[in-house]
Amino acid sequence: MADIYRIAIVGSGPAGLSAAAHAASLGISHVLLEKTDHLSDTIYKYQKGKHVMATPSQLVLRADMDFDAGKREAILGTWDKQAAERKINVRLKSEVKAISGAKGDFTIGLTDGTSIRAEAIILAIGTQGNPNLMRVPGGDMAHVQYQLDDPGEYVDEHITVIGAGDAGIENALGLAADVAQGNVVSIVNRTADFSRAKSANVKLLMAARDEGRMNIITDASPNRVEKDYLVLDTRDGEARFRCDRIIARMGSAAPRKFIEACGIEFTSEDREAFPKLSPAFESTNPGIYVIGALAGYPLIKHCMNQGYDAVEFINGNTALKPADEPILEKKFVYLPQKRSVDEWLEFIRTSVTILNELSPLQMREFMLDSEVKAYGKNEIIFEKNAPGSSLFCIAQGKVDIPLPDGRSTGIVIPQGSIFGEVGLVSGRRRGSTIRSIDDTIVVDIPRNAILKLMASVPAVKRAVTRISTERQLLQMWQSGLQSADLAGVLETAEIKAVRAGEAIFREGDESRDVYVIRSGSMVVEKNIGGKPIFLSYVPAGNYVGELELFDNGVRKNTVRAAVKSEVIKLNGDAFRALLEAQPTFFAQAKTAMGERTDLASFIEAKKDSFGSVVDMYSATANFLVDNGVGEATDVLLIDENLCVGCDNCEKACADSHDGISRLDREAGRTFAHLHVPTSCRHCEHPHCMADCPPTAIHRGQDGEVYIDETCIGCGNCQRNCPYGVIRMEKEPPKKPSLWTWFLFGKGPGPGEASHDWAYANMPKGVEKAKRAVKCDMCSGIEGGASCVRACPTGAAIRVAPEEFLSVARLQRGDA
């Protein structure tokens, strides 16, 4: 006859082991089933010597097993010892094949043919056994692995870790720890942010890079695996790297087929979705409880607390509150209504659209990183141009965008929606003032917290993307359009990532779809005389492809990405229906289409006579795109036919910035007569912002990217800038006035470079900290850019690329 237990626990990781230990301490009949020959396979599979963190630090540990930060081996040793001391009933080499029955009488079938009966079951099997695979050509080659046991085994290899969550970072750090091993270690992150990782791990990673032990590749993803090489899609196109070994740590997912066979439902159809659970961890199959990573809580301390709590719930202690209850209570204490933590969490989850599909457990973790704020009627939540990159969700009430005189613009954001998404995506200052209309409750979600949530819960990413797409289209098109008008277009909308150089459509293709450039930029080309000729540059916030809406649908030009970009693909028929239903918008679109049609007609009429002028123009435009103009919002160019080498531009820059020039005229690349000096491009999506610990880098109201006085001199921005326009400089002594020089001979005289004087007069024996400096477009200085104003010949110009890079200049005769 099969054994009968009060509780059967499946999986002996931190959650399962904690549950078994508490059952043992309460004298509850139990069995802990582990498929391997050792306890806690989760920790056992960590790399040898790994330092295990005990986060979150503010959370109290509630468990009958000890746990604190320390080495993998020490933690496993402690748990093995305590499991024996606490007389936990462990059955090793007991893999579960199936679960049947109902609450009070479950049957657990094992792969060895035996079975176990239990009144309740706790599933704590984690997700490690179901890793996300590299689904690219060559991803199944022998040198691709998903586990790192001992970093010390590898010597003199080029090793690439794919994935920059905690597991990936820790693997990379372990491989790079001992320089004597001679490994060349790289880590690849598909974004510029390390939102999935603990901040302590990110700091260690950056330190390893600074010491020359680590290569960090961001904004990249695998394209294919070759023998001895890895090919990545990067912001600049394909890149091929030497690679002897790939360690893929791209996350994992629940073993869905097994879980659903147990009668447990999931929150959605997404691969990364988690089981539906009650606040007591009970699944949709009563009597089966789910805890740990399988419940969406991968942190060890969370897992162990859940193991303890689940046993308490099964044992009838339904009044038990989770260990994070006191922390969450403090977040809600100043809100006007009096609700319990569970009631507040459920109210926020059901009220805010992007949070609808989160489980109660995910809501708790999410709220630990967020703040809830209440505003009265007509209170300002934030001002236009205020710094900030957090996202706001409206749980109650509504907000509007007021005019400077306090009157409403008529733009109302209702309960359930979000605002602040522009700062989240781009890092720009707040684009509008936001004011509460009624008594309003908002959730303020820090940037890293929402990025983490979007990365781990696909439904949240889809909801944020839909809302931000709708807002982008409304802002771009205006013409009195309302959200309801866009419903048909949004149903067809598809977000597509486009590699640098990749075409979204080619000349001669048959298609009527329209593409909105969400980020990055595009170049438009036409085949003339067998060569692709550059016609124009199209930055983010514009759309292409509409010329074919009302003709035979054959593409007249090729449109390709100047840099790594993102586009919104809209069905052509849906877009045409929108135009026909909205006369004002149609008229606006026809004007833009008319300008492009005129340009196309001009090109078509003149293409046979085009010669060296167009060839030179096209080659020059492509050169500028290759040198960063493709992602610039404002770029400094020097016409070397006019430049006399006086360096007035550099001197003026230094004079405007405490003696330190942000410009290096001679550096940079030249094509024909155009020179691109070393000066900030003020990129649409600044690379320098990606990893600034004090968030000292901002975008101003005129588009300038600048560094404020909170810079700590870490140098991350300098390393992240692909154009070498950021320098680390000591703060110079204050420059005396011209009168001081005239009367006392102190300070730089007329014609003497402020930069040279500043360095010559640095205090001796005083080591001053360095700070990052870069072009700020002379923000706040009357007259605009000093470098341009100081140029005696007009050789220096600052231009927006969309105006400069257009063959329409030839049509106007000003090329």
Is the whole-model pTM more than 0.75? no
Cα separation of 2 and 364, whole Å?
A: 39
Q: Residue 571: inside a domain, yes or no?
A: yes
529 and 555 in contact (C-beta within 8 Å)? no
Q: Which of 448, 477, 506 is the last residue of a domain?
A: 477
pLDDT tens for 336-391 read 988 999 999 999 999 999 999 888 888 888 898 899 999 999 999 998 877 777 89
Q: Looking at the structure, do residues 237 and 281 belong to the same domain, yes or no?
A: no
Q: Is 92 left (phi over 0), alpha (psi -120 to 50) or beta?
A: beta
Q: Looking at the structure, do residues 269 and 345 belong to the same domain, yes or no?
A: no
How many folded domains does the chain comprise? 5
Predicted confidence at residue 683, as pLDDT, reads 80
Q: Looking at the structure, do residues 237 and 330 belong to the same domain, yes or no?
A: no
Phi, psi of 124 (to 5 degrees): -135, 45
Confidence of residue 810 (pLDDT cuts 50, 70, 90): very low
Name beta bridge partners: 408.
Answer: 402
> Is the pLDDT reported for residue 604 higher than 70?
no
434 and 393 in contact (C-beta within 8 Å)? no
530 exposed, middle or buried (CB, 10 Å; 0-12, 13-18, 19+)? exposed
**Rg of the chain over CA atoms, in angstroms?**
30
Read off the pLDDT of each residue in 628-647 and give the average, rounded to a whole number.
79
Predicted confidence at residue 134, as pLDDT, reads 93
pLDDT tens for 245-272 read 999 999 888 899 999 999 999 988 888 8
Contacts of 487 (CB under 8 A, 6+ apart): none
Please give the residue range of the domain that contains residue 162.
Answer: 144-248
Cα separation of 351 and 364, whole Å?
A: 16
Residue 259's Cβ-side half-sphere holds a number of Cα atoms within 13 Å equal to 28
> Is the pLDDT reported for residue 36 higher than 80?
yes
Q: Pick the closest to residue 472 from 392, 592, 570 (CA basis).
A: 570
Q: Looking at the structure, do residues 173 and 283 belong to the same domain, yes or no?
A: no
> Is the pLDDT reported for residue 650 higher than 80?
yes
When mean pLDDT is compared across 345-349, 416-420, 465-469, the lowest value belongs to 465-469
Predicted confidence at residue 106, as pLDDT, reads 97
Q: Looking at the structure, do residues 687 and 795 belong to the same domain, yes or no?
A: yes
> Is the pLDDT reported for residue 663 higher than 50?
yes
Cα separation of 520 and 352, whole Å?
A: 30
Predicted confidence at residue 133, as pLDDT, reads 92
Phi, psi of 275 (to 5 degrees): -60, 150
Higher pLDDT, 632 or 679: 679
Encoded amino acid at 549, one letter:
L
pLDDT tens for 775-797 read 888 887 887 888 888 888 888 88
Read off the pLDDT of each residue in 447-465 and give the average, rounded to a whole number.
84
The average confidence (pLDDT) of the chain is: 85
Q: Looking at the structure, do residues 648 and 784 belong to the same domain, yes or no?
A: yes
When mean pLDDT is compared across 24-38, 279-293, 438-452, the lowest value belongs to 438-452
Predicted confidence at residue 641, as pLDDT, reads 78
Q: Which of 323, 338, 373 is the last residue of a domain?
A: 323
Confidence of residue 766 (pLDDT cuts 50, 70, 90): low
Q: Residue 567: inside a domain, yes or no?
A: yes
Cα separation of 690 and 720, whole Å?
A: 8
Phi, psi of 459 (to 5 degrees): -65, -35
CATH code, domain carrying 18: 3.50.50.60
Q: Looking at the structure, do residues 576 and 654 belong to the same domain, yes or no?
A: no
Higher pLDDT, 782 or 289: 289
Cα separation of 791 and 745, whole Å?
A: 28
Of the chain, the percentage scoring pLDDT greater than 90 comes to 41
Instruction: Work out whether strand 494-498 and strand 418-419 pair parallel, antiparallel, or are unpaired.
Output: unpaired
> Is the pLDDT reported for residue 81 higher than 90?
yes
Q: Which of 609, 642, 669 is the last residue of a domain?
A: 609
Q: Looking at the structure, do residues 406 and 306 belong to the same domain, yes or no?
A: no
Q: Residue 789: inside a domain, yes or no?
A: yes
Read off the pLDDT of each residue in 663-692 and give the average, rounded to a whole number.
79
Cα separation of 567 and 519, whole Å?
A: 7
> Tokens 């789910």 map to which residue?
290
When mean pLDDT is compared across 412-421, 548-557, 766-775, the lowest value belongs to 766-775
Read off the pLDDT of each residue in 311-327 and give the average, rounded to a whole number.
94
In angstroms, the Cα distances linking 723 to 123, 392, 521, 632, 682 are 51, 34, 17, 11, 11
Predicted confidence at residue 767, as pLDDT, reads 55
When mean pLDDT is compared across 401-405, 501-505, 627-631, 709-713, the lowest value belongs to 627-631
392: which 2 tokens? 């706001």
Predicted confidence at residue 139, as pLDDT, reads 94
Read off the pLDDT of each residue in 177-187 and give the average, rounded to a whole number.
94
In angstroms, the Cα distances linking 450 to 199, 273, 424, 446 are 15, 17, 9, 6
Predicted confidence at residue 812, as pLDDT, reads 42
Q: Residue 625: inside a domain, yes or no?
A: no
CATH code, domain carrying 463: 2.60.120.10
466 exposed, middle or buried (CB, 10 Å; 0-12, 13-18, 19+)? middle
> Is the pLDDT reported for residue 33 higher than 50?
yes
Q: Looking at the structure, do residues 658 and 698 belong to the same domain, yes or no?
A: yes
Cis peptide before 56 (omega within 30 of 0): yes
Q: Looking at the structure, do residues 303 and 179 belong to the same domain, yes or no?
A: no
pLDDT tens for 202-216 read 989 999 998 999 999
Read off the pLDDT of each residue in 2-23 and give the average, rounded to a whole number.
93
Read off the pLDDT of each residue in 41-51 and give the average, rounded to a whole number.
90
> Is the pLDDT reported for residue 242 higher than 60?
yes
Q: Residue 406: inside a domain, yes or no?
A: yes
Of the chain, the percentage scoring pLDDT greater than 70 comes to 87
SS3 264: coil
> Tokens 């909170």 map to which residue?
710
Instruction: Work out whether strand 51-52 and strand 184-188 pair parallel, antiparallel, or are unpaired.
Output: unpaired
Phi, psi of 700 (to 5 degrees): -85, 180
Read off the pLDDT of each residue in 53-74 and give the average, rounded to a whole number.
92
Q: Looking at the structure, do residues 217 and 317 belong to the same domain, yes or no?
A: no
DSSP class per residue in 663-679: -EEEEEEEETTEEEEE-
Higher pLDDT, 414 or 599: 414
> Is the pLDDT reported for residue 807 higher than 90?
no
Read off the pLDDT of each residue in 410-425 and give the average, rounded to a whole number.
83
Range among 54-63, 151-160, 718-727 with highest mean pLDDT value: 151-160
> Is the pLDDT reported for residue 813 higher than 50?
no
Q: Looking at the structure, do residues 122 and 270 belong to the same domain, yes or no?
A: yes
Q: Residue 621: inside a domain, yes or no?
A: no
693: which 2 tokens? 């610990």
Q: Residue 811: inside a domain, yes or no?
A: no
Q: Residue 42: inside a domain, yes or no?
A: yes
Neighbour-count burial for 70-99, b at 16+ CB within 10 Å, e otherwise:
eebeebbeebeeebeebebbbbeebebeeb
Own/partner pairs, 612-618, CB within 8 angstroms, 24+ separation: 613/810, 613/815, 614/528, 614/533, 614/807, 614/810, 615/531, 615/533, 616/672, 617/534, 617/807, 617/809, 617/810, 617/815, 618/531, 618/532, 618/533, 618/534, 618/807
